């Protein structure tokens, strides 16, 4: 391929999120192994899509972090021969972009089986609230896992935490104030929301885990340092990022047989919050 830049553009949602920040560091290390450097670009759905098109002149490939691009942007990248791969499965997969992610159905099923073995029947879920966010896949996997485990799923037990600590705190505060804690455990789509929910419970005197157990996803660094330490789904983020970069590099190099987009296994790290 002529005119290579030896750069890959990486679209991030929010670098203030410690989970995504850690992924960026792993991606950078994996790209360096291939002799590539990285261009970071923050992506928002309401941003000017023309900013993405400028990346086509600077990058040999584009690595998404679970975003769903507008059709005209996708068409533009494809017309320029710029391959795309998603690190994390997007909410909408209609575009034929390969994705690499945790096997969330397996992880959620193991989590629910553990909770049921502990006597939990009513299980709540805190999701992002944005249907286009990659957390949506984690939520749908939770629903599927509840069905497989023959658990009772009630949409009244769903909270929208906005993906952040503060919004999760507010959502949990409102639920506590309403007096409608109708579940004995809350599974959150990421650790930031789980920590926000935990902080709200602590502020209002809800005993964790005796009155309410809380579980997160991702196992970010602070998850083991909060009080009580957070039970969460852990997986090898380095393996995830290396796999995504390998798939992208195969496409950049025009290999006829792309490596399969794998799913990474995860497991529940049980700490004092559940």
Give residue 49's pLDDT band: very low, low, confident or very high (50, 70, 90).
low
Residue 59 pLDDT > 80: yes
Say whether pLDDT at 191 is over 50. yes
pLDDT over 90 percentage in the chain: 78
Q: Does position 2 have pLDDT exceeding 60, yes or no?
A: no
CA distances 33 to 20, 26, 190, 235, 236, Å, are 20, 11, 29, 22, 18
Dihedral of CA atoms 97, 163, 39, 89 in degrees, nearest 10, equals -20
Mean predicted lDDT score pLDDT of the chain: 92
Q: How far is CA 214 from CA 63, 135, 210, in A?
A: 32, 17, 10
The whole-number average pLDDT for the span 45-59 is 75
Of 103, 57, 104, 65, nearest in space to 84 by CA = 65
222-270 tens-digit pLDDT: 999 999 999 999 999 999 999 999 999 999 998 866 656 678 899 999 9
Confidence of residue 52 (pLDDT cuts 50, 70, 90): confident
| pTM: predicted TM-score of the whole model, two decimal places | 0.93
Q: Are the CB atoms for 264 and 235 separated by under 8 Å?
A: yes
CB 253 within 8 A of CB 195: no
**Whether pLDDT at 152 is above 70:** yes
* Tokens coding 165: 């600590």
Output the DSSP codes for 121-146. -BEEEEE-S-TTSTHHHHHHHHHHHH
């Amino acid at each position: 391929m002529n005119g290579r830049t030896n750069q890959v553009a990486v679209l991030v949602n929010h670098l203030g999120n410690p989970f995504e920040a850690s992924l960026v560091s792993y991606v950078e290390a994996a790209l360096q192994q291939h002799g590539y450097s990285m261009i970071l670009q923050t992506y928002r759905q309401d941003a000017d899509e023309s900013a993405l098109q400028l990346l086509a002149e600077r990058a040999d490939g584009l690595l998404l972090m679970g975003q769903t691009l507008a059709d005209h942007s996708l068409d533009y990248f494809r017309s320029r021969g710029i391959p795309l791969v998603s690190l994390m499965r997007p909410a909408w997969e209609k575009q034929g972009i390969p994705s690499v992610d945790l096997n969330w159905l397996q992880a959620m099923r193991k989590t629910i089986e553990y909770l049921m073995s502990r006597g939990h029947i009513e299980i709540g879920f805190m999701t992002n609230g944005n249907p286009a966010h990659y957390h949506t896949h984690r939520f749908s996997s939770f629903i599927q896992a509840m069905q497989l485990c023959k658990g009772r799923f009630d949409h009244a037990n769903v909270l929208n935490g906005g993906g952040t600590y503060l919004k999760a705190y507010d959502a949990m505060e409102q639920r506590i104030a309403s007096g409608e804690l109708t579940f004995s455990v809350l599974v959150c789509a990421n650790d930031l929301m789980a920590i926000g929910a935990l902080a709200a419970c602590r502020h209002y005197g809800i005993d964790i885990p005796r009155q309410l157990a809380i579980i997160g996803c991702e196992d970010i660094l602070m998850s083991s340092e909060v009080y009580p330490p957070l039970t969460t789904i852990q997986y090898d983020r380095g393996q995830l990022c290396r796999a995504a970069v390998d798939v992208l590099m195969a496409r950049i190099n025009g290999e006829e047989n792309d490596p399969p987009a794998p799913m990474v296994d995860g497991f529940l790290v049980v700490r004092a919050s559940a």
